Chain A
Amino acid sequence: MSNNARSKAMLPGFRLTMGYTLLYLSLIVLIPLSALFLKAATMDWNDFYETITSRRVVAAYRLTFGASLIAALINTVFGALVAWSIVRYRFPGRQLLDAIIDLPFAMPTAVSGIALMAIYAPTGLIGKHLLPYGIKTAISPLGIVIALTFIGLPFVVRTLQPALEELDGEAEQAAASLGANRWQTFWRIIVPSLMPSLLTGFTLAFARALGEYGSVIFVAGNIPMKTEIASLLIISKLDDADVPGAAAIAVVMLSATFLILLVVQGIQWWSQRMTGRA
Chain B
Amino acid sequence: MSIEIKNISKSFGSFTALKDISLKIENGELISLLGPSGSGKTTLLRVIAGMESPDPNPDSQVLFFGEDVARKPVGDRKVGFVFQHYALFKHMSVFENIAFGLRVRPRSQRPAESAIRDKVHSLLNLIQLEGFGNRFPKQLSGGQRQRVALARALAIEPQVLLLDEPFGALDAKVRKGLRDWLRSLHDELNTTTILVTHDQEEALEVSDRVVVMNQARIEQVGAPDDVFHQPASEFVIDFLGNVNVFHGRVNQGQPVLENIQVGGSRESIPDGEKANVYVRPNDISIDRTPTGKSSMAAIVTRINRAGVHAKISLELSSKEEIRVDVSMEQLQELHLQLGDSVFVHPNKARVFVPDFTI
Q: Do A and B come from one complex?
A: yes
- Considering only CB atoms, which chain B residue lies closest to A277 in the complex? B138
| A193 lies within 8 A of B81 (CB) | no
| B83 lies within 8 A of A276 (CB) | no
| B136 lies within 8 A of A177 (CB) | no
Beta-carbon contacts under 8 Å, B4-28 to A: none
Q: Is B348 an interface residue (CB 8 A)?
A: no
Question: Interface 1/0s, chain A 170-181, versus B by CB < 8 A?
Answer: 110111111111
Question: Contacts A173-B81, A189-B89, A192-B91 hold; do A178 and B104 have CB atoms under 8 A apart?
Answer: yes
Among the interface residues A175, A192, A195, which one has the most CB atoms of the partner chain B within 10 A?
Answer: A175
| A277 lies within 8 A of B105 (CB) | no
Residues of A within 8 A of B73 (CB): 176
Question: Interface 1/0s, chain B 243-276, versus A by CB < 8 A?
Answer: 0000000000000000000000000000000000
**Shortest distance from the beta carbon of A90 to any chain B beta carbon, whole Å:** 14
Q: Is B66 an interface residue (CB 8 A)?
A: no
Main secondary structure of the interface of A (DSSP, over half): helix
| B74 lies within 8 A of A276 (CB) | no
Q: Is A4 an interface residue (CB 8 A)?
A: no
Beta-carbon contacts under 8 Å, B75-117 to A: 75-76, 79-81, 83, 85, 87-92, 100-101, 104-105
| A184 lies within 8 A of B104 (CB) | yes
Complex Cα spacing A110 to B59, Å = 66
Complex Cα spacing A184 to B156, Å = 16
Q: Is A275 an interface residue (CB 8 A)?
A: yes
- Considering only CB atoms, which chain A residue lies closest to B162 in the complex? A177
Question: Contacts A176-B75, A178-B156, A179-B75 hold; do A171 and B87 have CB atoms under 8 A apart?
Answer: yes
Q: Is B125 an interface residue (CB 8 A)?
A: no
Question: Interface 1/0s, chain A 150-184, versus B by CB < 8 A?
Answer: 00000000000000000010110111111111001
Q: Give the size of the chain A interface in residues (CB under 8 angstroms).
A: 22
Q: Is A188 an interface residue (CB 8 A)?
A: yes
**Shortest distance from the beta carbon of A144 to any chain B beta carbon, whole Å:** 35
| A180 lies within 8 A of B75 (CB) | yes
Q: Which of B75, B85, B152, B153 contacts A170 (CB 8 A)?
A: B85
| B49 lies within 8 A of A177 (CB) | yes
| B74 lies within 8 A of A173 (CB) | yes
Q: Which of A177, A188, A192 contacts B74 (CB 8 A)?
A: A177
Residues of B within 8 A of A175 (CB): 89, 100, 104
Q: Is B230 an interface residue (CB 8 A)?
A: no
Complex Cα spacing A170 to B90, Å = 12
| A193 lies within 8 A of B104 (CB) | no
Beta-carbon contacts under 8 Å, A235-252 to B: none
Complex Cα spacing A86 to B135, Å = 34
Q: Is B139 an interface residue (CB 8 A)?
A: yes
Closest 4 CB pairs of A and B: A276-B136, A178-B101, A170-B87, A180-B104
Write the residues of chain B forming the contact surface with A, with a CB cutoff of 8 angstroms.
Answer: 49, 51, 73-76, 79-81, 83, 85, 87-92, 100-101, 104-105, 135-139, 149, 152-153, 155-156
Other A-B pairs beyond A168-B87, A173-B87, 16, CB < 8 Å: A168-B85, A171-B87, A171-B90, A173-B74, A174-B87, A174-B89, A175-B100, A176-B73, A177-B75, A177-B81, A179-B104, A179-B105, A274-B136, A275-B138, A276-B138, A277-B90
15 contacts between A and B (CB under 8 A): A170-B83, A170-B87, A177-B51, A177-B79, A177-B153, A178-B75, A178-B100, A178-B104, A178-B152, A178-B156, A179-B156, A184-B104, A188-B104, A189-B89, A276-B135
Write the residues of chain A forming the contact surface with B, with a CB cutoff of 8 angstroms.
Answer: 168, 170-171, 173-181, 184, 188-189, 192-193, 195, 274-277
